[in-house]
Amino acid sequence: MDPNNFRVNQRISTIAAHLNPPNNSQMEGGLGLGRANCRAKGGSAGFKVAILGAAGGIGQPLAMLMKMNPLVSVLHLYDVVNTPGVTADISHMDTGAVVRGFLGQPQLEEALTGMDLVIIPAGVPRKPGMTREDLFNINAGIVKTLCEGIAKCCPKAIVNLISNPVNSTVPIAAEVFKKAGTFDPKRLMGVTMLDVVRANTFVAEVLGLGPREVDVPVVGGHAGVTILPLLSQVKPSCSFTQKEIDYLTDHIQNGGTEVVEAKAGTGSATLSMAYAAVKFADACLRGLRGDAGVVECSFVASHVTELPFFASKVKLGRSGVEEVYPLGPLNEYERIGLEKAKKELAASIQKGVSFVRK
């Protein structure tokens, strides 16, 4: 065979293998390349990331943004529908990560094997009039199934859970991992970054600063009154009138509802959520790489309060969550908000735990 033709055919086989990974049960011969050996020429070393729910409203922009991240070497896209198209589309981007698509339950284990980070936006979105609790009956079962796959195929992976209601789905994931004997509280994180992103944006508007110049800690949970922005701890140091505090707190707590209503039945906060998820995933990858001083807010197993899970600032490192920081000094307004948050959080956490234990 002409060497030039051989190289051309080999490149075609490589691309085809990315888009349509062969079943492990199939024999691979001739010019066909197995998935294990299928790497893009010039692909840089990095981390292997899987997105579960990659064809959805959050999943697609999330996949695109993760394909742009130089810390990602392999990107697995899994969903129950439409992943071949999303994979083909994103694989054309001229960035280093190799993209592979996986479709349906039979390919879940293959999608998860060997992953360093698993991001889960899977589930149905909120619709007008729907609360995060309304999502529970549908999304709880989806998260349970996906986490059973993680426990079996990549138990050491960092898990970023986006699927709502996060206040309940994180406890569901923890219970699944406990049953499997793989639970590591350092490696399970509920993504509350969107609350922080909104808080930074809204506070910056009030202060007349750029959002990147502002840091607002947001603690508690990821729904309604459980979202507690600590406006007394904003950096740079500043002060607000009571009217501004009321406005900002309500705006941050109800930001998701505002988007759902503005989209009028066509979706929820998908684009800003994807941005926030990638921001948090990047922090996790930098922590895995060994970068110092990576601190973000996340809903994690915690001793900050009497509740088993709580969102607060955490230090990210090679093992996941290396330190959970205390809340720091709270003013009276925040102490009252904390008690309201804890009451609702306790019920949501128990709901998740009971779903798995029933």
**Alpha-carbon torsion (164, 165, 166, 170), positive or negative:** negative
Task: Please indicate whether residue 222 is annotated as part of the active site.
Answer: yes
Chain centroid offset of residue 242 CA: 34
Options 18, 76, 222, 251, the catalytic residue: 222
- For residues 50 and 150, give the distance between their C-alpha atoms in angstroms, rounded to a whole number: 10
**DSSP of 144-193, one letter per residue?**
HHHHHHHHHH-TTSEEEE-SSPHHHHHHHHHHHHHHHT---GGGEEE--H
User: Residues 218, 248: contact at Cβ < 8 Å?
Assistant: no
Residue 344 is encoded by which pair of tokens?
Answer: 């609702």
Beta-carbon count within 10 A of 169 CB:
32
Q: Which residue has the tokens 């879940």?
A: 108
User: Residues 147, 177: contact at Cβ < 8 Å?
Assistant: yes
Q: Give catalytic residue positions.
A: 222
